[in-house]
Amino acid sequence: MSDPSAATEAAHQQLARLVKDRAGLFERFSMVVDAFESKAGDEALVTELRAYRDSVLFKETLLASPKAVAIAFWT
């Protein structure tokens, strides 16, 4: 590519797709954890699994550029 801004835009679009994919995976992950909890699953494990999810989502948002985050949530 001869236009650096086009390469950057493509990278932001790809990152946005990956963020959306991960959000879908974590939505399903949350449903599984909720179901496990509702069936009298181990409270400590449920807490640990939710903390893991929150940590990954927080770090992902922290490391992403503001433009990539905006593209992911508003497209």
State pLDDT tens for residues 46-60.
Answer: 999 999 998 887 777
Burial class (CB in 10 A: 0-12, 13-18, 19+), 32: exposed
Which residues in 35-66 are b (16+ Cβ under 10 Å) and which e? Answer: eebeeeeeeeeeeebeeebeeeeeebeeebee
| Residue 10 confidence (pLDDT) above 60 | yes
State pLDDT tens for residues 13-46.
Answer: 887 788 788 889 989 999 999 999 999 999 999 9
| pLDDT confidence band for 3 (50 / 70 / 90) | low
pTM of the model: 0.66
Q: What is the DSSP letter of 1?
A: -
